[in-house]
Amino acid sequence: MQRQIPVYEPATGEVLAYVPDMSINEVRDAIDKAYDALPRLQSIPAYERARLLMRVAQLIRGRREELARLLTREIGRPIKSTRLIIERTARIYELAAQELPHVLTGEFVPLEAYDYPPGNERRIAIVRREPIGVVGAITPFNFPPDSMAHKVAPALAMGNTVVLKPSRYSPLTESEIAKLIIEAGFPEGSIVVVTGDSSMIGDEFVNNPKVSLITFTGSSKVGLELASRAILNGKRVIMELGGSDAMIILEDADLNRAVQAATVGRFDYAGQFCNATKRVIVREEVYDEFVRRLTESVAMLKIGDPLSEDTDVGPLISRDAVETMESFVNDALSRGGRVIYRAGKVPDRGFYYPPTILEAPYDARVWVEEVFGPVLPVTKVKSDDEAVEVANRTEYGLDASIFTRDFSRAYRLASRIKAGTVFINDTTRLRFDNLPFGGFKKSGIGRESVKDTMMEMSEVKVITYTL
């Protein structure tokens, strides 16, 4: 009898479902299946692959409520958010279909424009893109269907097959969408889901010669180690990793707008995002007033059952995540920090942690490490230069935000912040599906967007012809 892995419902702590704990031979069989499906997938004309992607979007929308409720139960994100996630997921498949003709458009090069090598007046060249092969995709627990879509839709559009490894915490919604992809008309083997030991599956992606590219979203430690080994084996990698996103509030900022952005940026889905606002840096002139308003805003958030329509903050993904948040706060207090605000009672069942705002010295873990939960450190600074220095005092560089009424000032600061995206007067929690998403330093390798990913998942070929 095959071993099974339990999937827990964060809101209750109870087992929601079981998925197979696959052996290494089963994982290899899955990779073989995807590899063998390449000729069938690539025989489908690009325009027809685009139609199939549109069909996938249609099928996802047809099951929106069912998928949203399943997603809420397996990751604990409030239902009013998961409905939006399912719609966004459908749109990503549509966007891949729409971008495909543009990405496949190659170049015609009249080589007579170049005097070397001799004889170019009789030569022409064509530059085109071709599928890269089998893609090994590893997705995180915090936004399963849309992260899956950002990896799978571009791959299928380009004619690549996918072996998908979802998080052990959230394999259910992705598995259902994988079934819809086949139902839409993609050949069997176009996408194969594998579940089981993460290290074993990651190692097989790295070592199996039939896997040509690995795309990973998750922690910087795991992703960079995986990428280093994959590159040694000649594989392409796309790594979307961690962040410790800073929010800078200048003295001329619209404080109500900044408070709203900080509340959403840190406490949406209990802060479990790589691009959540994880550090708030405020000019001393408005620090006290900002903290007062932020505390009032966070105190209004409703904590509870994520299936309830009026819940704002649900549970964390696991009991370990709750204990990690407690260790962050205890570390800050042990170093002389203080809690400014901590929500009152949270549900007894499930993996809940109260939203917390605190002050802490810069050597505290909340300033140094990535905090994946509803704990927000705030600090005051005397100058713009100090604000930038504090914002850049991290090994990450994913997103950042600046609040001010002076665009020129914001632009100058944005140019100095080491982050992949800098938002002016908006939350770091935004992501635009066809703009490059990724970061500086340990926040990633390469960029994800539908278009960028499609280009990464293809090989460039030059074909020349002598007349």
Helix 144-158 / helix 64-75 crossing angle, nearest 10 deg: 120
- Concerning whether 274 is annotated as a catalytic residue, the answer is yes
For residue 189, give the 3-state DSSP assignment: coil
Catalytic residue among 94, 99, 174, 240: 240
Alpha carbon distance 177, 8 (integer Å): 20
Q: What is the CB neighbour count within 10 angstroms for residue 82? A: 28
| Residue 169: closest CA among 375, 327, 306, 319 | 319
Alpha carbon distance 450, 98 (integer Å): 10
The end-to-end CA distance of the chain, in Å, is: 64
Enumerate long-range contacts of 24-27, CB under 8 Å, 24 or more apart.
24/200, 24/204, 26/194, 26/196, 27/163, 27/194, 27/196, 27/200, 27/201, 27/204
Alpha carbon distance 32, 444 (integer Å): 29
Alpha carbon distance 384, 356 (integer Å): 26
Residue ranges in 371-464 assigned as alpha helix (H): 384-391, 407-416, 450-456
For residue 333, give the 3-state DSSP assignment: helix
- Is the Cα dihedral 7, 448, 205, 202 positive or negative? negative
- Is the Cα dihedral 153, 449, 207, 21 positive or negative? negative
Catalytic residue among 9, 94, 99, 274: 274
Give 213's strand partners: 135, 236
The CA-CA-CA angle for residues 165, 171, 172, to 5°, reads 145
- Concerning whether 65 is annotated as a catalytic residue, the answer is no
Q: Are 257 and 233 in contact (CB under 8 A)?
A: no
Q: Which helix (H) or strand (E) holds 219?
A: none
Active site residues per annotation: 240, 274
